[in-house]
Structure 1
Amino acid sequence: MTHPDTAPQTLIEVRDLSLAFGRKVIQQNVSFDLKRGSIFAVMGGSGCGKSTLLKSMIGLLRPSSGQILVEQEDYWAQNNRRRTELNHRFGVLFQSAALWSSMTVGENVALPMEMFTKLQPEVIRRLVELKLGFVGMEQAIDLMPSEISGGMRKRAGLARAIALDPDILFFDEPSAGLDPITSARLDDLILSLRDGLGATIVIVSHELPSLFKIADDGIFLDAKTHTPIARGAPRDLRDHCTIPEVMAFMNREATIPSASEAKG
């Protein structure tokens, strides 16, 4: 039994969240807690609203209704200044890594420090070296994004995401476009971010091997009902969930039409 003093603390609470574009409902009745130190997966088929939920959690899309509480502070009820302050607790890795092509890798990683701190250039340079060293990219500090591989760009994006030492990291399809070996190395790096930096991680991904390996909690969003239909670690949902849509997703079923369906 977990002692009360060592029980995981709730870092983020999502309460009765609804997401819509005009009259088009993307998701509704979304509620879950995110425990400190967890790796939380947002799962579901294409078009179910995974990335939309992520955008709402990082401040890019105001929800239609509901709350996102960051340590009991209602994010969307705050003024712009306070939301910006809360955003400094977030690190984000977008699907494409989103590095500035006209800046070196080191300049990309330095940018958040230059924008949001008063550190001297020599201090920022040293911190950039440390962040890149953490992801095994120190040798690329003076290279341009066009001069490095896709996997290296993802790691550079990770270095930038941790530039301000955030305690919450958001990853949107981090393994997209990577070969299996590079993807597995990225999984190990994400685990090291959790274990080495104490970061709490929210990850949107279709990559089941990655989710089974690293995620310890999660939510499954359904595109048909526009609601969450399952909650739990991906491994547990794979092994124990009996909801047909979840079973099909976790076992990669019903993705190819049968011969009779194809003929019809």
Structure 2
Amino acid sequence: MNDTNTQMPATDDRPVMISVDDVTLAFGSKVIQHDVSFRVKRGSIFAVMGGSGCGKSTLLKSMIGLLRPTHGTYLVEKDNYWAGDDASRVRIGRRFGVLFQSGALWSSMTVGENVALPMQMFTRLKPDVIRQLVELKLGLVGMLHAIDQYPSELSGGMRKRAGLARAMSLDPDILFFDEPSAGLDPITSARLDELILNLRDGLGATIIIVSHELSSLFHIADDGIFLDADQKTAIAHGSPRWLRDHCTDPMVHAFMHREQLDSSSSAGNG
């Protein structure tokens, strides 16, 4: 990604929070992505973009510790995540909060119990303190009123917000979101975007977001990479707005403008 038309000029002097270098992800002999490298700055909302099947969620799984890369390094500040032992990965992973695409709430637990679970598992806080913290987290996402409700009683947007409250349960400084706007109506999606911005600004969190929802990405993301399913690597780097306005790669241009990629351009990028 050295071409100036596929890489945004480097003007961000914030410290690096996450470094991904020459990472290859594969299932057996099937390579999903190879030689992927990028930096995520502290306080950034970093977008992992690309069409269906390009490996966005697979990359996210590797970054949160669910899939060991075949090759390459993944640093969280100066800590090499996959080079350490299990205890080291658990320690680093305590810095993460994850919002899965479906919210992934336990259906047999109330919203409050879902948010409390990480605190019960990983801290020695007393029940009354945990209850206070649960109320605080739910209040941050506008879900305090649903503390005693079950996930089945919530709308899709409410489940996403409850999942976000649980992701923040242990006060992580890095948040990972997998398709947070998927399945939401435009108004609910816009509200979730504003919530993500407020959390970044209020908590100083670094956010990595996997999404193909362009309106959301243009609004909230300040940096990102574009993964290509054919070339199986990252072919462009920059904010979604910059890629929309300046990137000349045919695949990226077609994606950012919701255009059909003509056969001649596609053949040249296969």
Asked if TM exceeds 0.5, the reply is yes
Aligned in 2, Cα 1:135/1:177: closer, same or farther, shift over 3 Å? same
- Report the CA distance between 1:103 and its aligned residue: 0.1
Runs of 4+ aligned residues of structure 1 deviating over 4 Å after TM superposition are: none
Q: State the match for 1:108 in structure 2.
A: 114
Does structure 1 conserve the Cα–Cα contact (< 8 Å) formed by 2:251 and 2:261?
no
Picking from 33, 37, 42, the partner of 1:36 is 42
Picking from 151, 166, 180, the partner of 2:186 is 180
Picking from 46, 67, 71, the partner of 1:65 is 71
- Report the CA distance between 1:72 and its aligned residue: 1.7
Q: State the match for 2:257 in structure 1.
A: 251
CA distance in 1, matches of 2:27, 2:234: 18
CA distance in 2, matches of 1:255, 1:105: 44
CA distance in 2, matches of 1:72, 1:133: 33
Q: State the match for 1:154 in structure 2.
A: 160
Output the amino acid matched with 1:138. L
Q: CA deviation digits over 1:171-207, x for unaligned, max 9?
A: 0000000000000000000001100000000000010
Query: Unaligned 5+ residue runs, structure 2?
Result: 1-11, 264-270
Matched, 1:117 2:123: yes
Picking from 198, 208, 211, the partner of 2:204 is 198
| Equivalent position SS for 2:254 | helix
* Correspondences of 1:135-150 after superposition (within 5 Å): 135-150=141-156
Output the amino acid matched with 2:60. L
Does structure 1 conserve the Cα–Cα contact (< 8 Å) formed by 2:97 and 2:175?
yes
Q: How much identity, in percent, do the aligned residues show?
A: 74
- Pairwise CA RMSD: 1.3
Q: State the match for 1:3 in structure 2.
A: none
Matched, 1:169 2:187: no
Matched, 1:218 2:224: yes
CA distance in 2, matches of 1:200, 1:39: 6
- Report the CA distance between 1:99 and its aligned residue: 0.2
Matched, 1:126 2:132: yes
Name the count of aligned residue pairs: 252
CA distance in 1, matches of 2:49, 2:119: 32
- Report the CA distance between 1:256 and its aligned residue: 11
Q: State the match for 2:100 in structure 1.
A: 94
- Report the CA distance between 1:7 and its aligned residue: 3.3
Output the amino acid matched with 1:156. A
| Equivalent position SS for 2:191 | helix
| Equivalent position SS for 1:253 | coil
Q: State the match for 1:262 in structure 2.
A: none
- Report the CA distance between 1:21 and its aligned residue: 0.6
CA distance in 2, matches of 1:255, 1:34: 29
| Equivalent position SS for 1:92 | strand
- Report the CA distance between 1:255 and its aligned residue: 7.4
Q: State the match for 1:21 in structure 2.
A: 27
Does structure 1 conserve the Cα–Cα contact (< 8 Å) formed by 2:47 and 2:224?
yes
Output the amino acid matched with 2:152. S
Matched, 1:50 2:56: yes
